[in-house]
Amino acid sequence: MFAMLLAMGIAYTLHAKDIFQPPKPPPADKWSEPVPRREALEFQTTDGTKLRGWLYRSDTPDAAFVLFFYGSNEDMFHEANRLAWLSETLHVNAVCFDYPGYGFSGGTVAIPAFQSAALQEFDYVKKQFVPDPATPIIAYGWSIGTSMAIHVAANRHVAGLILQAPPASADEMMRWSSKHDVPWYGRGLVKMKADPEVTQVYENAAAIRNISSPLLVIQGELDDVVPINQGREVLAASAATQKQFVAVPGAHHNDLQFTHPPASDAVEHFIQSLR
């Protein structure tokens, strides 16, 4: 593909299908498989899409709820260990739904559908499981899922926002992608661009400017997908008075050990500060 682009001397435009690539769905019966303290969730969105998720119940009464949004090449099944860790170790109620067109959910891959679903997931969780308005609901996103977490925080009241490796802007991501993802023979000639919908999910620094919810940003120092300076830029743009950046030494984008210090300690202390 890139050889053809090089010969033609044109840019390659990224669309939703290029950045949101669902893995092969897990067996359907895994969604309702009995697991201690895990509940299978299901509701229908306003456009008729059936969304499925999991709630990992905390053993602590009145525990906070964490609504998690995963990365582009994952699904809820891939994040089961993180959800269990949040529930069992940090004693929160961990919730995650598959995006439309992903995993156990119906629908098709489309960024507006993801954004709408994220808000409806928040509303569903709040209505069904959080009768006490004092119970914190925290939005937690990783990689491209940070955009969904920020979208929720911009449109609903969240007690806190946790972002792991958030892109800052489409321009920065496209410049990085033009150097990082284009083969060596096309660098400097083939330029990556983002269509308007993809641009929207990368513009996290702009989207977070009016969000004052407490913020924690975690990123690997050696992140080779979203450079660490972008995470710092998102933190700096936030309107929050309580905000913290945690750089994880030796970690890249996909090998950051979130269950180990310093990331685990940072998440634990952040959640405790919101109670």
Distance CA(58)–CA(216), nearest Å, equals 22
Angstrom CA distances, 90 to 139, 200, 266, stand at 15, 32, 11
Using one digit for the tens of pLDDT, what is the confidence trace for 217-275? 999 999 999 999 999 999 999 999 999 999 999 999 999 999 999 999 999 999 999 97
Using one digit for the tens of pLDDT, what is the confidence trace for 109-159? 999 999 999 999 999 999 999 989 899 999 999 999 999 999 999 999 999
Query: Which band of pLDDT confidence, cut at 50, 70 and 90, is reported for residue 8?
Result: very low
Distance CA(151)–CA(148), nearest Å, equals 5
At 184 the pLDDT is: 45
Which class for 29: exposed (0-12), middle (13-18), buried (19 or more C-beta within 10 A)? exposed
CATH for the stretch 2-273: 3.40.50.1820
At 14 the pLDDT is: 87
Distance CA(93)–CA(149), nearest Å, equals 16
Q: What SS3 state is found at 245? A: strand
Which sequence spans correspond to the domains of the chain?
A: 2-273
